[in-house]
Amino acid sequence: MKTINDEQFTAWSRGLRDSDRQAYTRVFEATYDALYRYAWYFTHDEETTYDVLQDVFLKLWQVRERIDPARSLKALLYQMVRNTALNHIRHARRHAADALDEMVIEPASSSPSESSFDVQALDDHIRGWIDELPTRRREAFLLSRYQGLSHAEIADVMNLAPKTVNNHIVLALQHLRTRLLAHQPDLVTP
Amino acid sequence: MPDLETWLAEHPDLDPGDLAAPWRLAEGANPLDAAPAPDPARIQALRTVLLQSTANGAPQPSRRAALRRAPFAALRPWMAAAACLVLLVAAGLFFWNTPVTVHAPYGETARVALPDGSQIQLNSGSTLTYARRFTDAATRRVQLQGEAFFDVAKTGGPFVIETFNARIAVLGTSFNVRAWPNDGNAGTLVAVQTGLVEVAAKGHPHEALRLEPGEAARVAATFDAPTPEANLDPAAATAWREDRFVFVNQPLGVMFDEIERRFGIEIKAPEKIRQYPHNIGTKVTSAEKLVSDLCGSVTAFKLRYRAMANGFEVFEQ
């Protein structure tokens, strides 16, 4: 998704607004993979993830005439995935208010091993340190670092002030830097 | 890095090089890589459904037509049998969904070994609740009213303790939780012995506080975000486990309540005495010895006590 430039997205926005099914298909093909991962981040369940994707793309077609080409289509898609996924979780859990709370206590997906400094081990460490971040900070960081969203887009998706997104990313990087310094200082100092 | 200029404008104190290194090194550590790859066949099916539903003038197809595995229509002849099965399953589910409750009665403590190997010691009067299918969930979850010491088994998944006002998330570690809703000093107090623990007020899940060994934090009964308890002696927090009675700068009422629970007795005292903050550190031998030690060590006013049928009455002379 990173490789698609903003002009392309704007062109697709226009196409969608004009009910261009080819533009719709292109959007689907270009984005489902990244959106699938993002939805899975919330659902942790393949079946639910497919449901979320289907709901989002059906909805996208339903609202196509109201799409604002000035607004990032990417941000719109991510926001729809986010809201739909959280709704699915809420329904699944019955306890609506718990849906977001649940995310707070996400497990460290891999417990960092203590020895060897090879790349794989370092990646595991970093993954563990990313897991240590508070939920929303981690989500903002994932969207920025791995999904290639701009800060303005992240603010749009997560319904945050752009300044807050900035702070989240800077604090996330500072956290990683602190951990890296303690772990292997030569990696972060020139 | 995107938006670098914005960062620097907002954080003039930062060296861009400081943030560039973690940004670069994080490249291969995408947590979303843990997501299973989407199945091409499912994606193709989804694409077909979407294209059908967007065709000009085409009737809206039933949602999810291509994605559902078994059409429910095929079940119709077997509806009755299915209904019976559903009832049976429901009964089973009801049993499996009934939580397990462990209660340490007044005058006793209790030890609980959870299915995952975690060990919990419950102080008198405390109640621990957890799902029968405890280990099925990705998150191990227990509810605590009262006080307990947790020695959590490392399984890779998180372990969450909910009290009336706080949520405590841990990996594998040992720590003490004290959460009496009606205590003189109500709130949830968490003191960590080993490992890492994250504490948040239930109402403020995003303002979690991370505790390291020897650190403690309190979530006040007002349900605010947690505050560090810098002066709490970690040994004091777990003194109850070794039958010691240690309270630092706590209202006498808190200590009376503790004695009531520990010995299953009642201690009557006027509110003025209950509110008085006091320190004590002693061995637990008998209820009377504790009451006597407390009365004898308060110097601000003269405390006396007398035995009642089911406990003691403390009064000012």
Q: Tell me the per-residue pLDDT of B16-54, one tens digit each, with 9 for 90 and over.
A: 667 888 888 888 888 888 888 888 888 888 888 888 877
Element (H, E) at B220: strand B216-220
For residue B286, give the CATH number of its domain.
3.55.50.30
Which of B220, B236, B252 marks a domain boundary? B236
Structural domains in chain B (count): 2
Identify which has the larger pLDDT, A127 or B83. A127
Written as six digits, the tokens of B44 are 């193709």
Q: Do the domain assignments include residue B302?
A: yes
The alpha-carbon gap from A60 to the nearest alpha carbon of chain B, in Å, equals 10
B36: nearest CA partner in chain A = A46
- What does the buried/exposed string (b/e) look like for B258-279 if buried means 16 or more CB atoms within 10 Å of the residue's CB? bbbbbbbbebbbeeebbebebe
**Using CA atoms, how far apart are residues A156 and A79, in angstroms rounded to an integer?**
7
Say yes or no: B170 and B210 in one domain: yes
By three-state DSSP, how is residue B64 classified? coil
**Using CA atoms, how far apart are residues B258 and B287, in angstroms rounded to an integer?**
10
Of A41, A107, A124, the CB nearest to B138: A107
Element (H, E) at B245: strand B244-251
The per-residue pLDDT for range B270-281, each reduced to its tens digit, is: 988 998 888 888
Of B30, B46, B138, the CB nearest to A50: B46
Residues of A in contact with B34 (CB under 8 A): 109
pLDDT of residue A112: 39
CA nearest to B168, candidates B139, B206, B207, B208: B208
The ranges of chain A annotated as CATH 1.10.10.10 are 106-190
The per-residue pLDDT for range B202-246, each reduced to its tens digit, is: 878 778 888 888 888 888 877 677 888 877 777 788 888 888 888
Written as six digits, the tokens of A45 are 């369940």
Q: Do the domain assignments include residue B90?
A: no
> In degrees, to the nearest 5, what angle opens at C-alpha A113 toward C-alphas A112 and A119?
85
Say yes or no: B309 and B215 in one domain: no
Element (H, E) at B179: strand B174-180
Identify which has the larger pLDDT, B260 or B61. B260
Say yes or no: B188 and B216 in one domain: yes
Which of B219, B236, B253 marks a domain boundary? B236
Written as six digits, the tokens of A130 are 């990313």
Mean of pLDDT values over B284-295: 89
Residue type at B115 in one-letter notation:
P
Residues A104, B3: C-beta atoms closer than 8 Å: no
Say yes or no: B108 and B137 in one domain: yes
Q: Is the pLDDT of residue B107 over 60?
A: yes
DSSP code, position B91: H
The alpha-carbon gap from B31 to the nearest alpha carbon of chain A, in Å, equals 6
**Using CA atoms, how far apart are residues B216 and B188, in angstroms rounded to an integer?**
10
A159: region left, alpha or beta (phi > 0 left; psi from -120 to 50 alpha): left
The alpha-carbon gap from B222 to the nearest alpha carbon of chain A, in Å, equals 19
The per-residue pLDDT for range A68-118, each reduced to its tens digit, is: 888 889 999 999 999 999 888 877 665 444 444 444 333 333 343 333 345
Q: Do the domain assignments include residue B169?
A: yes
**Using CA atoms, how far apart are residues B178 and B219, in angstroms rounded to an integer?**
10
Q: Do the domain assignments include residue B274?
A: yes
**In A, residues 22-61, which contact B (CB 8 Å cutoff)?**
24-25, 28-29, 32-33, 36-38, 40-41, 44, 46, 49-51, 53-54, 57-58, 61
* Chain A interface mutation, best of B25, B49, B168, B207, highest count of A Cβ atoms under 10 Å: B25
Q: Do the domain assignments include residue B42?
A: no
Say yes or no: B141 and B187 in one domain: yes
Angstrom distances, CA of residue B97 to CA of B91, B92, B100, B248, B250: 10, 8, 9, 41, 40
Residues A61, B53: C-beta atoms closer than 8 Å: yes
Angstrom distances, CA of residue A61 to CA of A7, A55, A58, A80, A81: 20, 10, 5, 12, 14
Identify which has the larger pLDDT, B39 or B184. B39
Q: Do the domain assignments include residue B47?
A: no
Residues B18, A44: C-beta atoms closer than 8 Å: no
Tell me the CATH class for A106-190: mainly alpha
Domain that holds residue B167: 100-236
Judge contact between B35 and A5, C-beta under 8 A: no
* Chain A interface mutation, best of B3, B15, B48, highest count of A Cβ atoms under 10 Å: B3
Residues A188, B26: C-beta atoms closer than 8 Å: no
The per-residue pLDDT for range A112-153, each reduced to its tens digit, is: 333 334 566 788 888 889 988 988 899 999 999 998 898 999
Q: Is the pLDDT of residue A175 over 70?
A: yes
What is the DSSP track for B140-155? EEEEEEEEEEEEPPP-
Torsion of the alpha carbons at A106, A109, A111 and A117, rounded to the nearest 10: -130
Instruction: Return the HEC string of B196-208.
Output: CEEEEECCCCCCC
Asked if A97 reaches chain B (Cβ–Cβ under 8 Å), the answer is: no
Judge contact between B164 and B133, C-beta under 8 A: no
* Confidence check on the interface: ipTM exceeds 0.85, yes or no: no
Give the number of C-alpha atoms closer than 13 A to the C-alpha of residue B162, restricted to the C-beta side.
16
Asked if A78 reaches chain B (Cβ–Cβ under 8 Å), the answer is: no
Q: Is the pLDDT of residue B93 over 70?
A: no
**Using CA atoms, how far apart are residues B313 and B269, in angstroms rounded to an integer?**
6
pLDDT of residue A114: 39
Judge contact between A58 and B53, C-beta under 8 A: yes
Q: Do the domain assignments include residue B286?
A: yes
**Using CA atoms, how far apart are residues B153 and B194, in angstroms rounded to an integer?**
12
* Chain A interface mutation, best of B27, B33, B54, B209, highest count of A Cβ atoms under 10 Å: B54
Residues B29, A123: C-beta atoms closer than 8 Å: yes
Residues of B in contact with A154 (CB under 8 A): none
* Chain A interface mutation, best of B8, B19, B135, B223, highest count of A Cβ atoms under 10 Å: B19
Asked if A105 reaches chain B (Cβ–Cβ under 8 Å), the answer is: yes
Which of B221, B236, B251 marks a domain boundary? B236
**Using CA atoms, how far apart are residues B162 and A105, in angstroms rounded to an integer?**
12
Say yes or no: B204 and B266 in one domain: no
For residue B142, give the CATH number of its domain.
2.60.120.1440
Q: Is the pLDDT of residue A165 over 50?
A: yes
Q: Which residue has the tokens 């006002």?
A: B165
What is the DSSP track for A101-149? HHHHT---SSPPPSS--SHHHHHHHHHHHHHTS-HHHHHHHHHHHTS--
- The pLDDT confidence band at residue B10, using thresholds 50, 70 and 90, is low
Query: Residue B41: which residues within 8 A CB-CB, separation 6 or more?
Result: none
The alpha-carbon gap from B236 to the nearest alpha carbon of chain A, in Å, equals 28
Identify which has the larger pLDDT, B92 or A42. A42
CATH code matching the domain that covers A1-105, chosen among 1.10.10.10, 1.20.1560.10, 1.10.1740.10, 3.50.50.60: 1.10.1740.10
B13: nearest CA partner in chain A = A170
Judge contact between A121 and A111, C-beta under 8 A: no
Say yes or no: B223 and B260 in one domain: no
Q: Is the pLDDT of residue B267 over 60?
A: yes
Judge contact between B278 and B294, C-beta under 8 A: yes
Q: Do the domain assignments include residue B280?
A: yes
> B65-69, B138-142, B264-268: lowest mean pLDDT where?
B65-69
Mean of pLDDT values over B52-64: 56
Say yes or no: B203 and B288 in one domain: no
